Structures are given as structure tokens and as C-alpha cells.
A and B are shown apart, each in its own frame.
Chain A
Amino acid sequence: MTDLRPMVEVKGARKSFGALQVLKGIDLSVDRGQIVAIIGPSGSGKSTLLRSINHLETLNAGEVWLDGELVNQPLKGRAFERHINAVRQQMGMVFQHFNLFPHLSVLDNITMGPIVLKGTSKRDARGLAEELLGKVGLAEKIDEFPSRLSGGQKQRVAIARALAMQPKVMLFDEATSALDPELVDEVNAVMRQLAAEHMTMLIVTHEMRFAGEVADRVLFMDGGVVVEEGVPQDMFRAPQHERTRTFLRKYLAA
């Protein structure tokens, strides 16, 4: 059974912060099970694009679709709140700075969403947390508090927390940028595993090698537009645009 409808679709996305135009008309389509990496210099709008997809940023114009449902519906007040909360439950987001809840144990960080939002029983939620922690290699940390974890461990718990809502798509916003280099691999390994399980993923990243390895498609953004996109082999070996070449030269040399 194949569903040809894209999982995530962005049409003509525009966003300004005051006079600064951050997104100048972005189109993007991600198929079911596809992994798209978004690269580009700081300030290119890639994080804003990702955050617009689950409406942490409000677009000035354009549409975002998730699995055939319009995300930024023209609803008002409570009606929109209800709608967006339901939509966000279907999208997992992983942040650069983890945003784990420091006042809750690892277990509660993961189970709070399912318990509060889906009415999952505490027992089932614990089972789910154990399974997900096993998957990210942190089964023994279930009763720890985030303050006792390393950055890499925190990020893996954050991924487990997002997965606990059984999302249709995972959004990674520079998930490894705040980590010490030696901790990056453990987080990448988890993302690779998700890729192997055909999770639909949008990954904003500065790690070209990882992007090249895991992504089906790479988007290069600069100045609020998609300059170039393609399969990683073409993008990294033979970029068509001068801006892409300049950017990649800097990164790949490093």
C-alpha cells in the first residue's frame, strides 16, 4: 500500500522578522519515509523554515501541509489552538539545546506527553519509555534527572521524548550543534537508526558528512531561498551554483 501524498509540503513560505525577510518564498515537499537535510549558512532561514513547519514560527504567507492536512489553517483563537496542538502531536521536534524538562526525571520527560495528551496509562507509558530508552541506548538512565546527563545523553532522551508521541515526521533543528564533538556520534547513530526504520525526517544541520550519508535529498538555503537541491552525491560532488560551491568548500575543508 503506497500513499503518494507527500508527508510534508511547504508552498510559497514567506516570513519576516520586522524589516528582515527570512523566508522569501520556499517550496518544499518531503515524501513518506524520505529524509531531507537542509544546509546553509547561519541566518539563511533554515531553522525558521523548520520551525514554521510545526508553527513555532507563524508564516506571513504560504502554506504548510502535514500528511494532507493544512497546518496553518486560517482559524482563530481557541479553534486554532486545538487544531495546532493536534497537529503538533504528529510532529516530533528535536532542538539544538534539547529543551528537556529539568524538573522531571527521564521517565517523566518521555511519558508526560502520552499520559497528558493521549490518556495513556502510567504503566503503558512506562513500557513505552523503557522501549524507547532501550532504542536510544539509555535504558539505565530512566530514573535520572536531566542535570545528571551529558549533552549527548540529553539529546537522545529528547529524541525518545519526541518519539513517544509516535509522530509521523521528525524535525531536527541542529540537533548536534551544541554538543562536544565526541558526543555527536551517539546522537547521529540514533538518527541513523530512525532513518533505517524509514521515519520521515527533516534535518537542519551543519554536518555535511552526516547529511550526505543519511539524507535522500539535500537542500541548500541561503538568504531565505532554496538555492539548490538534489541528491547528496550531486550536491556535494558537483554543486551547480557558485554560492553552494563557496559554502561547501568552507565546510568540507574544515
Chain B
Amino acid sequence: MQGLDFSVVLPYSGILWMGVWWTVVLTVSSAVVSFIFGIVFAVTLLYAPKIVTYPVRSFIWLFMGTPLLLQLFLIYYGLVQIGIDIPALAAGIIGLGLHFAVYNADILRAGIVAVDPGQAEGARSIGFSRLQTLRYVVVPQAVRNTAPPIGSNMIALLKESSLVSVIGIAELVHAAQLGISETFRPFEFYLTAAALYYILNLVLEAGLRRVERKVEVSR
């Protein structure tokens, strides 16, 4: 039996910091993608003609009903076969982004429906079009009202971003595995990685709280 010795991690701190950096890049980019597509999906499902909503709904079911891991494989390894070669980072961002967009869409859809119909009437009475009403009045309020569940979703996204290590992106888990392959000390490296994820999420959580507090005044 070996005792725990975290000094083995120290020589790899540069690689681990790079891992943290890529995890942050992935998470932030995927969060943006998931947010934008979440709104687009939600609005489409609610207001587009059926000919558009059916394919979007099928797409959403596909993304909800299959594992993220498989989706990443399909986007990165699968699409190459039909001539679509997407770089690993982009594939990771698209996969994570769309996967979480589907969940955000569900939350936002409920949020949009929950906005008082009087809000849309107020906007329409000034002369806003349907689209302007959504853009300036309904969606901003839906986003504010659903900030907490969307925030939880983003915390999940940060953690799930570890899955993209399998398509060779040098994020945190990937960096830890690199260290392990050279030192054969999985416990120290995985614990270090876990601690770093935890800290990242604490920071994210604090950021989300700030957003929520700010949003509270304007509800």
C-alpha cells in the first residue's frame, strides 16, 4: 500500500493549469452556445409553424434521449466519415453546447409561458411586432425568471465538460490522465482534478448568485 503523496502532482501543475484553462474555455463557450440555442429552440417550439417545430422537436428528443458521450463521438469521429471534419475543440463545444441547449430550451420554454400575458399586450399596444415583443420584453423576463435552474444547468455543464477528454481535448481530466500515465498515481491526480472542479464550481456558483441578486430588483 502506498500513502498519499501530493508532491508528485507538483511537476505537472503547469499542465493542470492548462487543463483548468481549457475547461473554462470549453464551459464558457458551450454555455454561450447552449444559451443562444436554448432560446432559439424554445421560441421555435412555442411560436414557429408546425413544419418547423416537428424537426426541431425530433432533434431535441434525439439529444435528450442519447448519451452525451455518444453525441461527442458522433460529432467528432462520425461526421468525418461523411466528410465533415470538425476540430476537437469545436466538436466539444458543439456537442456540449447543443446537449445543454436542449435542457435550457425546456426551462426557457416554461419561463416564456410563465411571463404574464399583460407584458406582451403592453408591448404590442405600443406598436412592437411579435418578434420585437419577444426580443425586448418576453424573453428577457423569461431569462431572468429562470436564472436559477439555468444556473444549475451550467454547473452540470462544467462537470460534464470532462467528457470531452475522450476526444482528445486537453482539459482538466485529460491533463490529470496525462500525469497519471507518467507517474502511475491516479489517486493524487484525480483528487487534485476533483478539487479543481469543485473550486471552479464554487466560483461559478458565486457568480450565479450575483447575477440572481442583480436580477431580483428587476422582477
Contact = CB atoms under 8 A, between A and B. Distances in A.
Contact of B126 (A81, A117, A145): A117
10 contacts: A92-B125, A93-B125, A95-B121, A103-B140, A116-B136, A117-B132, A145-B218, A147-B217, A148-B217, A161-B126
B67 interface: no
Contacts of B123: 101
A102 to B, nearest CB: 5
Interface string B130-150: 101000110011001000000
B124 A147 contact: no
A56 B129 contact: no
Contacts of A97: 118
Contacts of B124: 56, 88
Given A89-B127, A103-B141, A95 B122 contact: yes
Contacts of A85: 127-129
Contacts of A95: 118, 121-122, 125
Given A97-B118, A117-B127, 9 more contacts: A88-B125, A89-B127, A95-B122, A99-B116, A99-B125, A112-B136, A145-B217, A147-B218, A162-B125
Interface residues of B, number: 22
Contacts of B128: 85, 113, 116-117
Q: How many A residues touch the partner, as a band?
A: 20 to 34
Interface of B: 116, 118-119, 121-130, 132, 136-137, 140-141, 144, 217-219
B219 A102 contact: yes
A103 B218 contact: yes
A187 interface: no
B26 to A, nearest CB: 30
A159 interface: no
B217 A162 contact: no
Interface of A: 54, 56, 81, 85-89, 91-93, 95, 97, 99-104, 112-113, 116-117, 145, 147-148, 158, 161-162, 165
B219 A89 contact: no
Main secondary structure of the interface of B (DSSP, over half): helix
B122 A100 contact: yes
Contact of A113 (B127, B130, B141, B218): B127
Nearest to B129: A85
A165 B128 CA distance: 11
B179 to A, nearest CB: 47
A123 B32 CA distance: 32
A56 B219 contact: no
Nearest to B141: A103
Contacts of A54: 125
Contact of B129 (A81, A92, A103): A81
A140 B121 CA distance: 27
Nearest to A102: B219
A81 B130 contact: yes
Nearest to A55: B124
Given A95-B121, A145-B218, A101 B137 contact: yes
A147 B219 contact: yes
Contacts of B127: 85-89, 113, 117, 165
Contacts of A103: 140-141, 144, 218-219
Question: Which 10 pairs, one residue from A and one from B, show the smallest C-beta to C-beta distance?
Answer: A99-B122, A89-B127, A93-B125, A88-B127, A99-B118, A113-B126, A103-B218, A85-B127, A103-B140, A103-B141
A99 B126 contact: no
Contacts of B130: 81
B141 A162 contact: no
